[in-house]
Amino acid sequence: MPAGHQGRNALPAGRPLTENFDTNALQVRVARSLKKGPVKVLVKPGWVEAIVNFKDDPKIGALPNPDDYLWETLDEHGNAKAEPAASCNAKTISSCKKSKLRIASPNEGERSYDRSSITHGHGNGTSGHDPVDNSVHDAVDEQLTKTNISEVPDEPFTVEVTEEQALGKKPIDPSHCQVLSKGHIVVPVDDHCLLQDYAVYIDPRSGTAYDASLNQCNASNNNNKFYRLQILFKEDNYKTWTRWGRVGLKGRGAILGTGSLDDAKQQFGKKFKDKSGLAWEDRTGRPQPEKYVFVEHSYGPAEAADSDSDGNDGSNSVDEDTNIAAEQNDRDPPECTLPIEVQRVMTLIFNRDHFNATMFSLNYDANKQPLGKLSQATILRGFQQLKDLAALMNNPTLASNQWNMTYTAATERLSNMYYSLVPHVFGRNSPPIINSEHHLQKEVELLQSLSDLKSTLDIMNIDRLDLVHPLDSYFNSLGLDEMSPVNHSSKEYDFLKKYLNNSKGTSHHISYEVYNIFRIRRKGEQQRFEAFKLGKVMSDKRLLWHGSRCTNFGGILNQGLRIVPPEAPVSGYMFGKGIYLADMSSKSANYCCPETSNREALLLLCEVELGDPLEVVRHASYHAGEKAKENGRCSTWGLGKTGPAQWVDAGKIHDSLRGVRMPAINAPAKRTNTNNAVLQYNEYICYDEAQVQLRYLFHVKI
């Protein structure tokens, strides 16, 4: 135990520090008497408390056993040994010694709040001592003055001060997060919590982080509320932190618990059950009526993690460090090895401004739930809520049979649950009730875009070496086998450009400026395509268009075109869940939404195995995919009023496309004379991802 240091009052009993650490103090004399070999041993801070209690309370009959308070390490042979006090570095001291400082509250009399330190195993301190710091109490008072956190009267509010502060030493700068072993993932302490030198508790057996964000949206009352729960620890001191309020404000907070882990878990579980209606173990279950909804976070690496996971401080929706411009540092940036044409596409896809514009256009509240913290699990739960809404719209009797309420009340309740999971921006307006097919489809589009945006952002947040240019790193992360610019003077380029321009619908009023066309191959996609089994139907391969927002292409190029998960409602898709393609480029271009990317857009030309498609001419056959499979088909053809006049072999573009059909580029589209057709142009829907392989990527201005 260190002795002879002078400092401020830092022990719970309020006695001077000089008395407690004086050479003749009882606890110091006992500690100095403990020996293993020629050196003194280092005891845990609990030893000091035990000795103080023994001295103050005459009812304690025996001196506590000092062997119960020894710090032990392993020697080079793996044997347990006591660590000498003289060799203990500042890392060990700062992470094991604490004391409490009572604070007088102007509201409830004497109160306390917790402030202590933890290093989480990152030993970067020094064992040297600085001059005595006499401003510990002033710093505490200043911090209390600055915070706007209000405490409830019956909940203790404790602060803990490191022994370095009490002894006048400058404390080691601690990590604010508990670092998980898997991929250096971090769980940040709530940014508005006073215990910034504590860490979020993670169950060592299950890996579960005791960190809960709860939201509640109510359309009728026009309110959005949040509730935050965390178990925080420093050494053997465990506290439950809670914060609550209206979204956009810091709200009020409280620290609960006696300091034991069991009590912290009990407080955490009780609060979670009270607010959500679910046990902590069932937190991802179906949201309960009139209760808060648990929103699962995606935890990133320490260097990419935001500080405020609730987004209540108006922070940027996508971190500045994900922007290419922010990748530069004081040194000269490494040279990019990509062709300039590919560089332009990478800059278009991995662009923070386009991310934010896309989320804004879809009314997504990225301040409340930053994209980097949005988990795929939350997106799937959002799909499930929309699926429940779709079922209710298709069968209104579910309102009374399943929800025991009117149809209007049921749609409002399900809409509230959805908005609680997936935050939206409505300004001062009440959240609109989702009660129409059109609105449902807009929300499905939002979740699809968020899923692709999330995939793209994950690529941007991958750790990179400074020796590699960011654009090279992004491109390499896509895992493409090929992305080759097509020569502008080649026959291949000429045919492709004509297919683009000659397949514009007269009703679309679209014009293109072609920047570049790329021949692309995704790793393993050709083998998957060739291995796809048609069954007994004949092969019918076509070269068709697919359009999407440029911000979605990080996920598309990395993972291919995907079918939405089972949690998504079928009613959000005109011909069921599948990959939608067109033979008119302008039909696909309408899905590019170039207004969010300075009119630049990306279009895909795909080789598609249709087999013998099930033809559909009527409007909205949501179960077309199921009907197609029942008839041994793998696709649906939604017949339009206008379509290609003639189909020709695409081998004219490239030898590898022989046997694949495409519209004749010199024959303009014409009326199909299909009776009862409600679609203006053809649509093709594939129900297996293996039916599609990407062949060309068009970079255009629309």
Residues 273-286, mean pLDDT to the nearest whole number: 92
Residue finishing a domain among 460, 487, 517? 460
Across 283-287, 403-407, 555-559, 691-695, least confident range:
283-287
In this prediction, residue 549 carries a pLDDT of 94
Looking at every residue in the chain, the average pLDDT score rounds to: 76
Domain assignment present for residue 178? The answer is yes
pLDDT score of 502 more than 60:
yes
Tokens of 440: 């449902």
Domain assignment present for residue 377? The answer is yes
Q: Is residue 486 domain-shared with residue 429, that is, in the same domain?
A: no
Tokens of 271: 């609060």
Tell me how far CA of residue 587 lies from CA of 120, 591, 593, in angstroms: 55, 8, 12
pLDDT score of 340 more than 90:
yes
Question: What is the tens place of the pLDDT at every residue in 372-396?
Answer: 778 888 899 999 999 999 999 999 9
Q: Which residue has the tokens 């399900």?
A: 414
In this prediction, residue 331 carries a pLDDT of 61
In this prediction, residue 471 carries a pLDDT of 94
* pLDDT above 90 coverage of the chain, percent: 45
More confident residue, 129 or 416: 416
Q: Which residue has the tokens 């915070």?
A: 147
Question: What is the tens place of the pLDDT at every residue in 462-484?
Answer: 766 667 899 999 999 999 999 99
Q: Is residue 226 domain-shared with residue 302, that is, in the same domain?
A: yes
Domain assignment present for residue 322? The answer is no
d(CA 536, CA 347): 45
Q: What DSSP string runs through 474-492?
A: HHHHHTEEEEEEPPTTSHH
In this prediction, residue 143 carries a pLDDT of 40
Residues 6 or more apart whose Cβ sits within 8 Å of residue 365: 247, 311, 423, 424, 425
pLDDT score of 267 more than 90:
yes
Q: Is residue 261 domain-shared with residue 132, that is, in the same domain?
A: yes
Across 62-76, 188-202, 212-226, 489-503, least confident range:
62-76
Long-range contacts, 41-44 (Cβ 8 Å, 24+): 41/70, 41/71, 41/82, 41/83, 41/84, 41/85, 42/1, 42/70, 42/71, 42/82, 42/83, 42/84, 42/85, 42/88, 42/92, 43/1, 43/69, 43/70, 43/71, 44/69, 44/70, 44/71, 44/96
Helix axes 437-460, 352-361, angle to 10 degrees: 160
Question: What is the tens place of the pLDDT at every residue in 28-81?
Answer: 554 554 444 444 445 556 666 666 665 555 555 556 666 665 544 333 333 434
Residue finishing a domain among 88, 121, 146? 88
Of 185, 445, 174, 474, the C-alpha closest to 345 is 474
Query: What residues are annotated to the active site?
Result: 683
Q: What DSSP string runs through 605-645?
A: EEEEE--S-EEE-SS--TTHHHHHHHTT-SEEEE-EEEE-S
d(CA 108, CA 652): 84
In this prediction, residue 687 carries a pLDDT of 95
Q: Is residue 384 domain-shared with residue 424, that is, in the same domain?
A: yes
More confident residue, 293 or 305: 293
In this prediction, residue 257 carries a pLDDT of 92
Question: What is the tens place of the pLDDT at every residue in 239-261?
Answer: 999 999 987 788 999 999 999 99
Structural domain of 416? 336-460
* CA distance between the termini of the chain: 74
In this prediction, residue 484 carries a pLDDT of 97
Residues 528-557, mean pLDDT to the nearest whole number: 93
In this prediction, residue 172 carries a pLDDT of 29
At 151 the three-state DSSP class reads: coil
pLDDT score of 292 more than 90:
yes
pLDDT interval class at 137 (50, 70, 90): very low
Long-range contacts, 76-80 (Cβ 8 Å, 24+): none
Q: Is residue 83 domain-shared with residue 95, that is, in the same domain?
A: no
pLDDT score of 435 more than 80:
yes
d(CA 536, CA 612): 10
Secondary-structure breakdown of the chain: helix, strand, coil percentages, each rounded to the nearest 5 = 35, 20, 45
d(CA 583, CA 647): 10
Domain assignment present for residue 331? The answer is no
Domain assignment present for residue 498? The answer is yes
d(CA 424, CA 1): 56
Query: What type of residue is 323?
Result: N
Q: Is residue 227 domain-shared with residue 277, that is, in the same domain?
A: yes
Across 177-186, 199-208, 375-384, 572-581, least confident range:
177-186
In this prediction, residue 37 carries a pLDDT of 41
Domain assignment present for residue 471? The answer is no
d(CA 113, CA 48): 21
**CATH number of the domain to which 402 belongs:** 1.20.142.10
Q: Is residue 583 domain-shared with residue 650, that is, in the same domain?
A: yes
Residues 75-93, mean pLDDT to the nearest whole number: 35
- Contact status, residue 301 vs residue 316, Cβ threshold 8 Å: no
More confident residue, 363 or 556: 556
Residues 255-284, mean pLDDT to the nearest whole number: 95
Domain assignment present for residue 350? The answer is yes
Q: Is residue 520 domain-shared with residue 550, that is, in the same domain?
A: yes
Residue finishing a domain among 281, 315, 349? 315
Q: Is residue 410 domain-shared with residue 504, that is, in the same domain?
A: no
d(CA 534, CA 537): 6
Q: Indicate yes or no: pTM above 0.85.
A: no
pLDDT score of 317 more than 60:
no
Domain assignment present for residue 496? The answer is yes
**CATH number of the domain to which 508 belongs:** 3.90.228.10
How many structural domains does the chain have? 4
Query: What type of residue is 312?
Result: N
d(CA 434, CA 450): 19
Q: Is residue 381 domain-shared with residue 353, that is, in the same domain?
A: yes
- State residue 678 phi and psi, 5-degree precision: -105, -20
Residues 6 or more apart whose Cβ sits within 8 Å of residue 205: none
Residues 21-28, mean pLDDT to the nearest whole number: 50
Q: Is residue 530 domain-shared with residue 550, that is, in the same domain?
A: yes
Q: Is residue 94 domain-shared with residue 82, that is, in the same domain?
A: no
- State residue 462 phi and psi, 5-degree precision: -65, 140
In this prediction, residue 184 carries a pLDDT of 52
